[in-house]
A and B are shown apart, each in its own frame.
Chain A
Amino acid sequence: MANTDMYGKPTTGLEREVLAVYEALKSIVARDDLPPCVASNAREALACLWQAANDLDLAFEQLYDLGV
């Protein structure tokens, strides 16, 4: 897990938790065995966490290939 944000500032405990949830959601969304109800809501949740990670300068990437 990254110990610094995108411009090199040490991450806080809260930031590391947000990043962990974000990465976990990416793993779930990438699976191809999800029922529609899980896939759709996980994508929705990932889109929200992408925004939180972006706001906290923890991640900045494109997720269209995951449908997000």
Chain B
Amino acid sequence: MRMDQMYWNPKNETMPKKDLAALQLHKLKRMTAWAYERSPFHRERWAAAHFHPDQLTELKDIARIPFMTREDWMASIQESPMYGTLPTAPEELAIRYHLTSGTSGRTPIRVLDGPKDWKWISEMWAIGFWGFGVRPADTVYFAFGYGSFIGFWGAHYACEKIGAMVIPGGAQTTEARVRQIVEMGATVVCSTPTYALRLQQQASLMGIDLAKEGKVQRIILSGEPGGSIPALKRQIEHAWGAKAGDTAGMTELGTIMIFECDHQPGGTHIIEDNFYEEVIDPVSEQPVKYGELGERVVTSFGRGFIPTIRYRTQDMVVRLPHTTCTCGRTGDIYEGGIRGRWDDMKTVRGTNVYPRAVEAIVREYEVIDEFQIYLWRQESQRDEITIKVELKPGHEADWPALEPRLATDLSNAHEGLRFILERMPEGSLPRFELKARRMVDARPKADYEN
């Protein structure tokens, strides 16, 4: 293996756009033909929409394919347990079962994969890890529980593929993980953004300065939108004395579809030879231009067992041309990574509130240790939003000055909406290892459909 290579796959990562379009069209035709032949889910829905794969003669013809939604998939699973009608092969040919994390409180989606699917899943992670500078000499620590949630499983195999030494953190206490990271001399740590901070907080309690006593050079973040929130990223990089790189994936795809390269351009490259990504207005369902906020719609050229074709992700993204980054890759960029989810939005007295937008402001205050967004109703009439805040130990005296400043910053970013701030005792708010849930909506449910 040539260590001087900056790209995992030089041919495709630097491919001219014209060639990329030809490759994507070829794969799109093959994947849709396969799905039409073998997946009742796709065949029946496409027939109802009068679409046939033979109609694909250029990439823009993809607009003929009806969108696929999580609700469609869920309905299929409920009607035909356990896996619905999406799989293209009998379940006995699968080697692996996983399910979504169920972040949004809905029934998880069950997924199956064959042997080559797992080579592909790990390959996507390998592209991202190599692009952020992980090499065979690295020791990579996974702060991950290795359960049915697919999470970092593919990343683990990617690091083995690269030739790095992998330390599976598994089910341990945060304290034990901190000790292992330091004692084993891990040079790369993989975790959610929230948990990267949690590890650092625990290290502080143990009297360990990770930036001085640890050997970690890179933190690879995934699982939450926070990996591209500048203030949160700064905190993580400062605390660990390491570079932090964002990635994002979905259980529905099995792997990551975007990664931040080591040039850190303020966003994440799309792995375009393996995914066809569209960005649409979620209401009109029409494409939006570069630089405009929209919803990601993904078509995967990976898994053939459960083909995801024109899948509406609900992810909020802003797409920019690849030339935004100087690394030479020709995959376009999502500025700021995944900016949240359209279905995370809550409405408080007519104002839209997104958890990530609140977090981006809260994280500008480095003395804040943990927080929670609490929505409630005053005297059965008036909706209120309270930000419950825990300060880092030793910063209690900062509260009188911080409270009005933070309330003003939040209000200014939300059309003047009043935010109530409440200081919480140390250790009283929940901590998270995977997919933090910091938004609590305690309003009566019957009146709200979000």
Asked if A and B are interacting partners, one says yes
B182: chain A residues within 8 A (beta carbon): none
Question: Is A56 located at the chain interface by the 8 A CB criterion?
Answer: yes
Contact check, B11 vs A57: say whether CB atoms are below 8 A apart: yes
- Asked if A64 and B23 make an inter-chain contact with CB atoms under 8 angstroms apart, the answer reads no
Indicate if the CB atoms of A62 and B11 lie closer than 8 Å. Answer: no
Which residues from chain B contact A47 at a C-beta distance below 8 Å? 115-116, 118-119
Given the complex of chains A and B, what is the CA–CA distance between A7 and B273 in angstroms?
Answer: 12
**Cβ of B354 under 8 Å from chain A:** no
Q: Do the beta carbons of B30 and A61 come within 8 Å of each other?
A: yes
CA distance A47 to B187 in the complex (A): 30
B115 & A67 in contact (Cβ 8 Å cutoff): yes
Do B23 and A51 touch (CB < 8 A)? no
Q: Which residues of B contact A43 (CB under 8 A)?
A: 115
Chain B nearest Cβ from A8, distance in angstroms? 7
Give A34 Cβ to nearest chain B Cβ, in Å.
Answer: 15
- Interface residues contributed by chain B, number (CB under 8 Å): 24
Size class of the A contact interface (CB-based, 8 Å): 20 to 34
Query: Roughly how many angstroms separate A62 CA and B12 CA in the complex, as a whole number?
Result: 20
Chain B residues within 8 Å of A68, by CB: 114-116
Chain A residues with Cβ below 8 Å from B120 are 51, 54
* A55 within 8 Å of B (CB atoms): yes
Segment 93-132 of B: residues with Cβ below 8 Å from A: 93, 114-116, 118-120, 123
How far does the Cβ of B299 sit from chain A's closest Cβ, in whole Å? 14
User: A residues touching B (Cβ–Cβ < 8 Å)?
Assistant: 6-9, 43-44, 46-48, 50-51, 54-57, 60-65, 67-68
24 contacts between A and B (CB under 8 A): A6-B23, A6-B26, A7-B22, A7-B26, A43-B115, A46-B116, A47-B115, A47-B118, A48-B119, A50-B119, A51-B116, A51-B120, A55-B123, A56-B11, A57-B11, A57-B12, A57-B23, A60-B30, A62-B34, A62-B304, A63-B116, A64-B89, A67-B114, A68-B114
